[in-house]
Structure 1
């Protein structure tokens, strides 16, 4: 059974020379940065920020499947999808391609959990965030 996902953001991120490793391709850790950047852009567009007080998002797990190496120069297109939200969490999925190229270079997954930063415990997802995912 395939999980229903909603495309919630497409981000274009330039590949920097320093993103590459000794093998001449983008280092595996940088793929997680590309996914993080897309996730932050999505939340910021909705008016959410990360801060030391109140409530906000954290990642409780993240994975990436590296299909083909990305190399400099280029611009990565990160498509961010969300799955059905739970009480305090949202599953996210990522597809990484190069702008102008339909080839899939990597896919990723992460689980976003809303927390109370004071207690460090999960908190209900804000209603406005939940509403933005209502079609799921």
Structure 2
């Protein structure tokens, strides 16, 4: 297996670190966390970051972040019981979007278990069209 670095690449900076327990129900028939659940972990840290900036994620918001693409590289299986450390990084903001990256580690282990990414675009839910990034988001990722 190739070595992976947890050091962020140029242009990325740490936005939030979150700890979350692995639940028994997160596992699949193979006895490790199901691949779809990793996207939930990344989603949870992204929502926590938005809420820390005062952007509560609700369906009646005038502008809302949506994911237009997401990916994950599964490097090592995660098993129950465990506590994950999920780090979210942000990149240079665009007009209406920001690229985010994620690192998933198991508490007490320095190895990288998975790494992911998601491009987040802000849009007007009424029109479905992209809108400029909110000032608080732009400030947080700049």
Task: Kindly indicate whether the alpha-carbon contact (under 8 Å) linking 2:50 and 2:57 is maintained by their aligned counterparts in 1.
Answer: no
Matched, 1:109 2:85: no
Aligned to 2:34: 27
- Which TM-score applies when normalising by structure 2? 0.91
Partner of 2:4: none
Residue in 1 that maps onto 2:17: 10
TM-score after normalising by structure 1: 0.95
Aligned partner of 1:87 among 89, 92, 95: 95
1:59 lines up with 2:61 in the alignment: no
Q: Deviations over 1:58-84 (max 9, x none)?
A: 000000000000000000100000000
- What SS does the corresponding residue of 1:34 show, helix, strand or coil? helix
Secondary structure of the 1:38 match is helix
Residues 38-76 of structure 1, C-alpha deviation per residue, up to 9 Å, x if partnerless?
A: 000000000112233310100000000000000000001
Report if aligned partners of 1:8, 1:81 keep a CA contact under 8 Å in 2. Answer: yes
**Distance apart, 1:3 and its partner CA:** 4.2
**Equivalent residues of 2:97, 2:122 under 8 A apart:** yes
Contiguous gaps of at least 5 residues in structure 2: 1-8
Please, which runs of 5 or more residues in structure 1 have no aligned partner? none
1:100 aligns with 2:108: yes
Aligned residues: 133
In 1: Cα distance, 2:59 partner to 2:47 partner: 16
CA RMSD of aligned residues (A): 0.9
CA deviation string 1:20-42 (max 9, x = no partner): 00000000000000000000000
1:52, 1:32 → 2: CA distance? 20
Match of 1:41 among 48, 65, 80: 48
